Amino acid sequence: MPVVPMPENKEAARKQNAETVVSFRGRGLTSKQEIQVDVKLGSINSGIKFHVLASKTNSYVEIGATAANVVNTLRNVVLGKEGTRLCIVEHFLAAATLWGLDDLNVTVAGPEMPLGDGSAQIWTDLFEKAGIERKTPASTIELREPIILTKGDRSLLALPDNKFSVHYMMDWNHPRIGKRWQSWDASRNVTEITTARTFGWLKDHQMLGLEDDVISLTEDGFTQPLRFEDEPVRHKLLDLVGDLALCGINPLKFKAKFISILGGHEIDVEMAKRLAAVLSKVAN
């Protein structure tokens, strides 16, 4: 992992950023392979683009980080194009969003983003060590009216507000979780959500061979000590931020309160589509 010091001169810093590549090599959750990821800053307003190795042709396929390119949301967010897929993009997108990195070219030599410890920390550590300054974007985009999405017992609302915030309410039939709610906005430290790890039932993880990689829920506790007493609900907020980034711009730019009740990737991606529609109206 290269450590790139920031030059003092602003112009030199900008130039260096445009050329800087931060690299990471880590194990994939499902492929169990070591996957190389190279992150390069893209040109202004180009958005986040993945360049994914297509194993059949040994060439790279460009897949934009947009809701239109989402092909699966069952366990994680999967982007796809021309038969090439990239799984588990949400934690990386959350890290980039919270760091204010809106224009990136991300080259991935495998079918999924490395999982790290199941939080977004591998990526934020990488940005920090490379000397990339974290910038919280100003919330400038008005939401003219509420967007209300419901699917079964899950809901996701976007309400007009004077700043960006995310709120999540979960209800898991587990003695250490139960009903939990948590919120995040830019006045709070990003580590309150970027360090929160993914979780799931031990029996599901055993079925998938993941029990050693991530936090699993046993009948009355967890297989690993938690970083926060309410780490699972904080991870849900992290997922929500990463999923909303699929609207095509940094979602922190919206003056909106996002309230998720039992939500998940599927309804989040639907919201990202609706936000993209709002943006196309603003542009026209």
Instruction: Please give the residue ranges that form the binding site for Zn ion (CB under 5 A).
Output: 198, 239
Shortest distance, position 30 Cβ to Zn ion, whole Å: 14
Shortest distance, position 196 Cβ to Zn ion, whole Å: 9
Q: In what order do the strands lie in the sheet with 21-27?
A: 21-27, 34-41, 104-108, 48-54, 59-64
Closest CA to 164 of 258, 284, 45: 258
List residues with catalytic annotation. 265
Residue closer to Zn ion by CB (options 116, 278) is: 116
Residue closer to Zn ion by CB (options 130, 267) is: 267
Residue closer to Zn ion by CB (options 87, 104) is: 87
Closest CA to 175 of 233, 204, 217: 217
Shortest distance, position 238 Cβ to Zn ion, whole Å: 6
CB burial readout 55-79, b (16+ within 10 A) else e? eeeeeebebbbbbebbeebebbbbb
Residue closer to Zn ion by CB (options 122, 130) is: 122
Distance in angstroms (rounded) separating the CA atoms of residues 120 and 57: 31
CA Rg value for the chain:
18
Residue closer to Zn ion by CB (options 66, 198) is: 198
**Site of tokens 């938690």:** 226
Closest CA to 88 of 126, 23, 31, 168: 31
Shortest distance, position 90 Cβ to Zn ion, whole Å: 6
Residue closer to Zn ion by CB (options 102, 239) is: 239
Distance in angstroms (rounded) separating the CA atoms of residues 243 and 76: 10
Cβ atoms of residues 163 and 186 within 8 Å:
yes
Distance in angstroms (rounded) separating the CA atoms of residues 82 and 53: 12
Distance in angstroms (rounded) separating the CA atoms of residues 219 and 197: 19
Shortest distance, position 43 Cβ to Zn ion, whole Å: 29
